[in-house]
Amino acid sequence: MTFQEQILQGIPNTLPTPKEFNSDINHAPKRKAILTNEEKKLALRNALRYFDSHHHKTLLPEFIDELETYGRIYMYRLRPDYKMYARPIEEYPAKTKQAAAIMLMIQNNLDYAVAQHPHELITYGGNGGVFSNWAQYLLTMKYLAEMTEEQTLVMYSGHPMGLFPSHKDAPRVVVTNGMMIPNYSKPDDWEKYNALGVTQYGQMTAGSYMYIGPQGIVHGTTITVLNGFRKIKKSPKGHLFVTSGLGGMSGAQPKAGNIAGCITVCAEVNPKITHVRLDQGWIDEKITDLDQLVSRIQQAKQQKETISIAYLGNVVDVWEKLDEENIKIDLGSDQTSLHNPWAGGYYPVDMSFEEANNLMAKNPKLFKEKVQETLRRHAKAINKHTSKGTYFFDYGNAFLLEASRAGAQVMAENPSHGREFKYPSYVQDIMGPMCFDYGFGPFRWVCASGKAEDLAKTDAIACQVLEHIKENSPQEIQQQMADNIQWIKGAQENKLVVGSQARILYADAEGRMKIAQAFNDAISRGEIGYVILGRDHHDVSGTDSPYRETSNIYDGSRYTADMAIHNVIGDSFRGATWVSIHNGGGVGWGEVINGGFGMVLDGSIDAERRLKSMLFWDVNNGISRRSWARNDEAMFAIKRAMKAEPNLKVTLPNLVDDKLLDSF
């Protein structure tokens, strides 16, 4: 069968032969046994309902084995034989290019070069799933191939509920992931209901089909590192940034360090992903010996090198060794998947990767104890370095939150509202006041033609637009504009593409709309093919996350989620091609609500109308909320937005003299 024929058949009537387990692929760790016997029967019933009853006797023992062996039913047998990657949009069998664009993005999320655990349909973060099983993938792709612009596909946490009558201005797909009743949003709830096959953890851009490989966070990490060095008034040249995590999004850190121009040491316990990052050129060197690492850092400092070094081992050993050797760390952070600490997101020290994985599955209680013991050691080592002048920040991975729960010494001596930890979230000190409050966030696009030359043309268009905007931009955002122009000019030489022909840069509403308009015009003239717009959920408006995206909101509302919900509702009726809303992502299940979108530009007047309406809302919804929280930069930005758009009228806060409250 051709690729198109396989897509159109969906779940095949004749079962394919079972697939052999490929040990060369990076696989998800075995999930802990959490289901009762009755719940296991329910999980099996839930899995078998995708198939005609005459297949049930064949599939039942297979699904029992998967559930017992891996803790989940992935339906490996149904994994397609064709290569998984983002094909040019014309190759997808679809009645509308909007649906074909979504198919392209789904396959990009599952590309072996992009996905962390491709056979388990997990894109990044250890548990960020596009789907829960392969039947869901096959059925979804079939629905997309059949869809017209008078239908909307409804996705329930990976499960395609079906095509419903709709209209051309409605989203083609509406996605929810993990939207639990609040009292059922603890980590073990995810383990249970995911094992039952009734919900999934979509992370931020995995389950919303908008992940573009580690490039998606390289830019944000580059800005964070640059501004981190600006904060401590040091040039990156010859200075040391220490962090950990090379899987999924965290793999962006060494590349970002190279672009910023510092010495980066990034520890990683997984040999396979370390090898992948070395092959991809995202790290320069791999070191497995701590003494050799110390020597290499000293050499790099002396010669003021720009270099990224992966240490294959636990980052706690690195922090402790550098303290013993009195090696100065200038910037420190961590980007392991601590939103998922008990299921492979963070590994205990003094234990091999294989030993830890075995312990995780066989004795989860002891594994948790070992993780928390390691977190205490980790924090203790960091505290020693910060007492010597290291600037440490939480990179939004729930490090401080989980360390505090483990009893580590990370709490502030004099906590204030919203600043309970000894160290700041990077949003509190860097990305919030410098970017999000001004409306700058991770705008991204994918060239649906799959042509590198189209990406180069869009880079040039975006650069030209930004340079023109910068000429008349206020002083308050000149640095942001300059950083993005520098980024886009170096994007090609930094070889950031992994998977789809995609790009990301930080832009405000004006930048996003003008860049999108310029793309749409170029498509209309036949200069480039279709373009798919999107963003990371980690943005100005899409995410309510008290320990990350909204951690610099100090009016007491950082635990509310109105903004993310309004963002998705507003995007839906303003022209998004697809929208998504998730529980969990980045900082953990039950700790965040985040929303995203995708929009297809086809060069039409209709696309022009949609982009102007939706992109303006998508950013200014968040700025207005941040302004109401009395964030100075956001108040400046929303007043500027109201001046530019007379139909925008936002409630502004009246500031209270603190002296009035001093006697309270």
**Which residue from 421, 369, 370 is spatially nearest to 399, judged by alpha carbons?**
421
Phi and psi at 279, nearest 5°, equal: -60, -35
> Per-residue pLDDT averaged across 233-244, rounded?
96
CA distance 644 to 648: 9
More confident residue, 233 or 187: 233
CA distance 572 to 174: 8
For residue 249, what pLDDT is reported? 66
For residue 380, what pLDDT is reported? 98
The 10s digit of each residue's pLDDT in 90-133 is 999 999 999 999 999 999 999 999 999 999 999 988 889 999 99
CA distance 33 to 38: 13
Helix or strand holding residue 600 (H, E): strand 593-601
> Per-residue pLDDT averaged across 435-456, rounded?
96
Domain spanning 214-410: which CATH class is it, in words?
Answer: alpha beta
For residue 215, what pLDDT is reported? 82
For residue 416, what pLDDT is reported? 80
Please state, rounded to an integer, the average pLDDT across all residues of the chain. 95
The 10s digit of each residue's pLDDT in 8-20 is 999 999 999 999 9
CA distance 273 to 267: 11
pLDDT over 90 at 248, yes or no: no
User: Whole-model pTM?
Assistant: 0.91
Q: Is residue 558 within 8 Å of residue 580, measured between CB atoms? A: no
> Per-residue pLDDT averaged across 191-219, rounded?
92
The 10s digit of each residue's pLDDT in 504-516 is 999 999 999 999 9
For residue 616, what pLDDT is reported? 98
Q: Is residue 264 within 8 Å of residue 301, measured between CB atoms? A: no
pLDDT over 80 at 417, yes or no: no
pLDDT band at 494 (very low <50, low <70, confident <90, very high): confident
CA-to-CA separations, 173 to 50, 162, 601, 650, in angstroms, rounded: 21, 10, 16, 30
> Per-residue pLDDT averaged across 380-404, rounded?
94
Binding-site residue ranges: 125-126, 203, 268, 395, 586
The 10s digit of each residue's pLDDT in 318-348 is 999 999 999 999 999 999 988 889 988 999 9
CA distance 500 to 486: 22
pLDDT over 80 at 418, yes or no: no
List CB contacts of 562: < 8 A, sequence separation 6 or more. Answer: 544, 625
More confident residue, 105 or 218: 105
Domain boundaries, the chain: 3-196, 214-410, 433-659
Q: What DSSP line would sit under 176-187, residue for residue?
A: EE----GGG-SH
> Per-residue pLDDT averaged across 575-593, rounded?
92
Please tell me the least confidently modeled range out of 37-46, 242-251, 376-385, 544-553.
242-251
What is the percent of the chain where pLDDT is above 90?
86
> Per-residue pLDDT averaged across 208-212, rounded?
95
Alpha-carbon torsion (261, 485, 211, 114), positive or negative:
negative
* Range of 24-28, 135-139, 226-230, 554-558 with top mean pLDDT: 135-139
Binding-site residue ranges for NAD(+): 125-126, 203, 268, 395, 586
Residue type, 174: V
CA distance 158 to 202: 8
The 10s digit of each residue's pLDDT in 624-659 is 999 999 999 999 999 999 999 999 999 999 999 989
pLDDT over 90 at 233, yes or no: yes
Statement: 433-659 belongs to CATH 3.40.718.10: no
CA distance 221 to 106: 25
Phi and psi at 442, nearest 5°, equal: -75, 80
The 10s digit of each residue's pLDDT in 64-74 is 999 999 999 99
Q: What DSSP line would sit under 512-560, residue for residue?
A: HHHHHHHHHHHHHTTSS--EEEEE-SSSSSSEE-TTTTTTT--SS-TT-
